[in-house]
Structure 1
Amino acid sequence: MKTQSTKVAFIGTGVMGHSMVKHLLLKGYDVKVFTRTKEKAQDLILQGASWSSNPGEAAKNADIIISMVGYPKDVEEIYFYENGILENAREGAYLIDMTTSTPSLAKQIYVKAKEKGLHFMDAPVSGGDIGAQEARLTIMIGGDKESVAACLPIFECLGSNIIHQGDPGAGQHTKMCNQIAIATNMIGVCEALAYADSAGLDAESVLKSISSGAAGSWSLSNLAPRIIAGNFEPGFFVKHFIKDMEIALDEANRMGLELPGLSLARDMYVKLSSNGEENSGTQALYKLISEKK
């Protein structure tokens, strides 16, 4: 698809979506945006994006419609409700939901979209605010391979690790694997730093030693420095991480799979949220772990 003629609608310009829209604008795409608070998209409008008053208005006449909202209920609302995407998208349009949502909802939207001559993909991402800012997101895609191929130029504007995982819902299942791996890793990162502090070590020096060895991970390299600096601003919200873990636990339960590590992490993050940290970044788990007995 030629960038000059391709019209993109982007619904949800939060912590990550905001940067993603900027990349599309820089590549020359004609972008319409919708977010619940227009003020939060003001700088995007100044950079060339046009504003829509609801998801359906944004979807009209768009070639590609991307959504990235908070919860599965928000996905349902923007796709199925009045002034939603499915009733307003033109035949032949490509729909890409990049929200971390449920595999079953992805499959449901795919079926409804196909009935209307629309092409739907579930394409959740990983990489946080940094990955979005640097267009280095990992994009996990479920859907028809022809749709993925048609939208590859868009995906390449946003990410550097783009993998078609399989049929509708496969992207969401893959994202659950990602979140499961992160959940217990975040406990380890926070416990390691709390231990270093209690032992009287220099945390930055410890991080230099352990981040490039067997303990290395994305969270250790990218979030541990924020913890050391006392920066608990969200690259990814605690409240959204809890949502993801609960989706993964529900899916695991359906498959008869027990995930004790994920259950522990979910319970710890729920406690952290109840302490008023629901809008903090996931690295705020350190505050809970570092509390002295």
Structure 2
Amino acid sequence: MGRRIGWIGTGVMGGSMCMHLLKAGNEAFVYNRTKSKAGHLIAEGAVWCDSPAEVAKNADIIFTIVGYPSDVEQTILGEDGVLANAKSGKIIVDMTTSEPALAERISSEASAKGVMALDAPVSGGDLGARNATLAIMVGGEQSVFDEVKDLFEIMGSNIRLMGKSGAGQHTKMCNQILIAGTMIGVVESLLYSYKAGMDLNEVIDVIGSGAAGSWSINNLGRRIADGDFNPGFFIKHFVKDMGIALDEAKRMKLSLPGLALVNQFYIAAMALGYEELGTQALYKVLESMNGK
């Protein structure tokens, strides 16, 4: 039997994720700042809500996947937010990549109201969202995780409870740190290939299946080869994620020079006006530095 789920944030990732839950027979109550971005869900039977508060009043399990920690705070903890309008026994699942400390605060404030909370950021980009193959890294209580796991399994293929509240966000930071360094390798490798007069797709065919193989080269590398810089994940959101990781590293007195360097390249991408492009547009920054 379907569940009464709420979904706040129907963008590049959230729209596909919610659609999987809807098509699996769940009743969905949806909200997005731009209503038109929820149109495909409404057409499939989702119920439009005019605010996060209305979502919280109608749904038993409320998912959020918004842009920045400030959006998470407003959506969940704000006066017209989810928590203020959620009755005891409901579950909040924040799938935004956000700050571990904020995840802990949400869990604490929710618990005081008898509401349960999980932080559950994802990895896999727009492709993983569309194909329901996301990795979902979760922080929170085992009993709450068990309650929501069947819904996670509709959206992803690698789901794991990583520890207490905030642990999902810490795991996502590990993911983003690794991707940041990998992307420098991807774009430098392909720019070298281009300058050497090679066919980029043929190069990826070879190096993508050997020791240098990675999700980034085999997926985002193909987009670079095809001149496709549309967002599977926005540069502006990746800069946000790297900022969170660098702040956490500073708090832990941890030096991450590789991440700091890649962060500077992505800030350069923002300065060049590429913030709305996909993370693979880092290629365009290196290209401009070297001349096409």
TM-score range, shorter chain: over 0.9
Whether the 8 Å contact between 1:96 and 1:123 is mirrored in structure 2 is yes
| 1:186-265 to 2 correspondences below 5 Å | 186-265=183-262
Name stretches of at least 5 consecutive residues in structure 1 with no aligned partner: none
Per the TM alignment, residue 87 of structure 1 is displaced from its structure 2 partner at its CA by: 0.9
94, 98, 101: which one aligns with 1:101: 98
Partner of 1:117: 114
Name stretches of at least 5 consecutive residues in structure 2 with no aligned partner: none
Whether the 8 Å contact between 2:52 and 2:75 is mirrored in structure 1 is yes
Equivalenced residue count is 290
TM-score by length of 2: 0.98
Alignment pair present for 1:166 and 2:163: yes
Partner of 1:181: 178
Alpha-carbon distance in 1 for matches of 2:183, 2:64: 27
**1:100-140 superposed Cα distances (whole Å, 9 cap, x missing partner):** 00000000000000000011000000000000000000000
Paired letter, 1:100 = T
| 1:1-293 to 2 correspondences below 5 Å | 2-3=1-2, 6-291=3-288, 292-293=290-291
Return structure 1 stretches of 4+ with deviation > 3 angstroms. none
Alpha-carbon distance in 2 for matches of 1:131, 1:277: 23
* Segment of structure 1 superposing worse, 200-209 or 160-169: 200-209
Per the TM alignment, residue 40 of structure 1 is displaced from its structure 2 partner at its CA by: 1.2
Per the TM alignment, residue 61 of structure 1 is displaced from its structure 2 partner at its CA by: 3.3
Give the aligned CA root-mean-square deviation in angstroms: 0.7
Structure 2 SS opposite 1:28: coil
Structure 2 SS opposite 1:121: strand
**1:228-277 superposed Cα distances (whole Å, 9 cap, x missing partner):** 10000000000000000000000000001000000011000000111000
Whether the 8 Å contact between 1:23 and 1:158 is mirrored in structure 2 is yes
**1:148-185 superposed Cα distances (whole Å, 9 cap, x missing partner):** 00111110111000010000000000000000000010
Structure 2 SS opposite 1:276: coil
Paired letter, 2:33 = R
Q: What is the percentage of aligned positions where both structures have the same residue? A: 53
Structure 2 SS opposite 1:270: helix
**1:198-224 superposed Cα distances (whole Å, 9 cap, x missing partner):** 111111111111001000000011100
TM-score by length of 1: 0.98
Alpha-carbon distance in 2 for matches of 1:212, 1:72: 37
